[in-house]
Amino acid sequence: MNVCAIQLRIKWENPGENICRAMKLVGEAADMGCELACLPELFATGVTLEPQKYAEKTNGPTCTALSDAAKENAITVVGSFIEESLGKKPYNTVVVYDKRGRLVCKYRKMKLFRYGGEHLVYSPGKKNATFELGGFKVMPHICYDLRFAGLFSKLNCEFHVVVANWPSPRKDHWVTLLKARAIETQSFVLGVNMVGKNLKNTFFGASQIISPHGEVLASAGGKEQIISADISVKEVREYRSKYNPP
């Protein structure tokens, strides 16, 4: 199965332009033969600290665009949006649409980045979520989740996807933790980061696709680009059988 990370240059709090650009890149990913395309965390806005301005439901413009792009290009798309929650702070939510445009997974960010004030304006999710594709059980994660190994060890998944807005100067943390999560869970890991700036931070990119034994299969630099790699659930099972005998 060929999977890709779309390392998007997010224009801060500019949903119209970001959605248009992201959907164009999803089309390019499909033309490359990718079966799954993954966009950075809150690709339409960036991780704004004014989420109420952009909160929407799954029938809103962001999710509608994701669904339409998945169906039109016959590709599974992983994106995230600011999910409206009546009477509560919004959620930072991953949604996954299959190649028919159907919603097959929804995951709300569990670990909010308190240092950045996320806990003041977002509600935390309460549980992991998974979907199946190409024989894989796939688990999505969001940015700061990456620092919590226990979230990755649940449910015995073979493929983990991390969407992020991970800023400078913590590039070494990002690269090291992605590799660590792959090695310790003996799973494929795809981490997709943004490039660009917000009011305080610069984002370095460095999206990665990593094998169960820690090999970097594809790595992005600091510009907008698509990286891809072929992954196989058979490889995961064979590798695990060597290190986890019955």
Going by C-alpha positions, the residue among 221, 223, 151 that lies closest to residue 189 is: 151
- How far CA 154 is from CA of 185, 217, 218, in Å, comes to 9, 24, 25
What the block records as the tokens of 46 is 């960036």
Neighbouring C-alpha atoms within 13 Å toward the C-beta of 37: 30
Tokens 């240059």 correspond to 9
- Give the Cα separation of 118 and 191 in Å (integer): 20
Catalytic residue among 143, 157, 158, 179: 143
Bridge partners (DSSP) of residue 95 are 79, 106
**Would you call 41 a catalytic residue per the annotation?**
yes
- Cβ atoms of 4 and 77 within 8 Å: the answer is no
> How many Å apart are CA 3 and CA 225, to the nearest integer?
14
Phi, psi dihedral angles at 145 (to 5 degrees): -50, -30
Peptide bond into 169 cis (omega under 30): yes
Structure tokens of 30?
A: 């499909």
Q: Which of 106, 109, 111, 179 is the catalytic position?
A: 109
Active-site position among 35, 41, 118, 158: 41
Reading the block at residue 68, the tokens are: 């339409």
Active-site residue list: 41, 109, 143
